[in-house]
Amino acid sequence: MLASRVMTLEKTDFYPDLFSAGDKIYFDHNATAPLCRKIVSSAPELLEAFGNPSSIHQFGRRPKKIIRDARNQFAKFIDCHPLELIFTSGGSESNSLVLKSEFLRAKKAGIKNPHFVVSKIEHPASIKSIEQLKELGLKVSWIEVDRNGQVDFSQYQSLFQEPVHLVSCMLANNETGCILPIKEMCQFAKSQGAKFHTDAVQALGKMEFSLKELDVDYASFAGHKFYAMKGVGALFSKQGNVIENLISGGGQERSRRGGTENTLGIASMGIVAEFFPQQKSYIEYVRTLRDSLEEKLVSRISNLEILGRETNRVCNTSSVFIQGVDGESLLMNLDLAGIAVSTGAACSSGNPEPSPVLIAMGLSHAEAQSSMRVSLGWGSTMAEVDRFIEELEKVVIRLRAIKENGGEL
């Protein structure tokens, strides 16, 4: 039923008006999503409220209200109390803030070597924060994942042989879209007296979830991954938790994050949150497109594997391994045809090292280097899926022929 609706559906039938890629195909939504146009049409009025939200005169009251409204709207859709949100500059800051804050809390409580349990497939913002903290005495135990991007629960439980202060594990992986069993992992962590942080940056708008149900202590979000602006995000910090600020300042965000607020950015998160009541249908729509894309990939291209296909994944992501084809060459050839995909995390493109996430999942270096990530969005269409498959088929045939001829065409 939905599939036939999808075939005839125009992007604008029930979707928020997003910036489009024109006659090009943008299948890299996990790197960043196009902006919702309502943000642009609302911007002049929002920017007119130029006062400092901390000022108590009337110039401060308007931006203060804009921030309060956005906080309420965003909190409603992730199911938390508005004051449990700390607005930040994005996912990287939210992850760094919670990891460093919890380390400091543990140190202040007299723990010499605080012990964190962290998954091997976290975003570099988390992994690099952990590396910094290790130099200051942090002890880390790593959660392993298998080729389907899934956690082995008994390996996870075995990491609690000594007291754990904090667990950090993402809700959905940016490269494979695999969803991790956060509710169960969090329940276990709590039974062992540990706190739990989840990086939910890639989950929002791609799967339904409620923070209350997950029952985590902390969760990270980034505006630009769900059609709001870049350079803005949020950290959910459950009531009762204390955050040690990384940016000291004038007491903004209840002294948990100093600095005059990014009023327009924060407002953009509230504007997109208005569309979230419809997100169930967006998710179903995108999933139908993605599933159709994968069926076509498997039937039209030989020696191709979709990583984590049999597991629980967000609606939009396909991580594709194509034997005998170099991922970077694939990306460049598709780019010439006007199609944007990615070979891993966007922040590591141009880096010849294979994706650490794919390596953690057990792929060899050669396999990881023959992989690409296709990530669709609320504005993608079936016509784009079909054009993508046609172009990809041509590129794969060409690249395999070049390889067989020892690099000559």
Ligand X SMILES: Cc1ncc(COP(=O)(O)O)c(C=O)c1O
Active site residues: 347
Of 96-104, 198-206, 374-382, 385-393: span binding ligand X (CB under 6 A): 198-206
Burial of 360 (0-12, 13-18, 19+ CB in 10 A): buried
- Three-state DSSP at 89 gives coil
Does 123 bind ligand X (CB under 6 A)? Our answer is: yes
Q: How far is the CB of 88 from ligand X (least distance, A)?
A: 9
Which residue among 199, 217, 253, 367 contacts ligand X (CB under 6 A)? 199
Residue number, 90 or 308, with CB nearest to ligand X: 90
Write the CB contacts of 364 (distance below 8 Å, at least 6 apart in sequence).
none
Q: Report how many residues bind ligand X under the rule CB under 6 A.
A: 14
Nearer to ligand X, 104 or 203 (CB): 203
**Smallest distance from ligand X to CB 98, Å:** 12
- In angstroms, what is the minimal distance from the CB of 92 to ligand X? 3
- Verify binding: residue 268, ligand X, rule CB under 6 A: no
DSSP state of 220: E
The minimum distance between CB 349 and ligand X, in angstroms, equals 11
Task: Please give the Cα distance from 343 to 329 (Å, whole number).
Answer: 10
- Can you tell me whether residue 404 is helix, strand or coil? helix
* CB-facing half-sphere around the CA of 182: CA atoms within 13 A: 26
Candidates 178-186, 197-205, 235-243, 283-291 — which segment interacts with ligand X by CB under 6 A? 197-205
Among 202, 288, 343, 375, binds ligand X (CB under 6 A): 202
Q: Which is nearer to ligand X, 91 or 379 (CB)?
A: 91
H-only helix segments in 226-278: 252-255, 263-273
Contacts with ligand X, 246-265, as mask; x by CB under 6 A: --------------------
Q: Is 66 among the residues that bind ligand X (CB under 6 A)?
A: no
Would you count residue 170 as binding ligand X (CB under 6 A)? yes
Residue with tokens 């570099």: 124
Task: Please name the residue that has the structure tokens 């803030």.
Answer: 97
28 binds ligand X (CB under 6 A): no
The single residue among 73, 119, 174, 319 that binds ligand X, judged by CB under 6 A, is 174
> If binding is defined by CB under 6 A, does position 92 make contact with ligand X?
yes
In residues, how long is the chain?
Answer: 409
Options 125, 166, 235, 315; binder of ligand X; rule CB under 6 A: 125
Q: Which of 63, 233, 327, 377 binds ligand X (CB under 6 A)?
A: 233
Residue with smaller CB distance to ligand X, 201 or 368: 201
Helix (H) or strand (E) holding 138: none
Provide the minimum distance between the beta carbon of 368 and ligand X in the complex, in angstroms, as a whole number. 17
Find residue 304's DSSP bridge partners.
Answer: 322
Question: Smallest gap, in angstroms, from Cβ of residue 123 to ligand X?
Answer: 4
Picking from 95, 72, 71, 82, the residue whose alpha carbon sits closest to that of residue 263 is 71
* Binds ligand X by CB under 6 A, chosen from 222, 272, 307, 374: 222
d(CA 156, CA 35): 38
> Least distance from C-beta 312 to ligand X, angstroms?
17
CA distances from 201 to 8, 89, 159, 232, 296 (A): 31, 13, 25, 12, 29
Residue showing tokens 């329940």? 187
Alpha-carbon distance 161 to 148, whole Å?
A: 26
CA distances from 335 to 29, 350, 409 (A): 15, 14, 20
Q: Buried b vs exposed e over 327-351: b needs ≥16 C-beta within 10 Å?
A: bebbbebbeeeebbbbbbbeebeee
CB of 246 to ligand X, least distance (A): 14
Minimum CB distance to ligand X smaller for 262 or for 333: 262
Q: Does 90 bind ligand X (CB under 6 A)?
A: yes
Instruction: Give residue for tokens 């029952």.
Output: 215
Taking the least distance from each CB to ligand X, the nearer of 117 and 201 is 201
Q: How far is Cα 279 from Cα 231, in angstroms, rounded to an integer?
A: 23
Which single residue is written with the structure tokens 């994968």? 294
Q: Among residues 91 and 308, whose Cβ is nearest to ligand X?
A: 91
Binding site residues, ligand X, CB under 6 A: 90-92, 95, 123, 125, 170, 174, 199, 201-202, 222, 233, 345
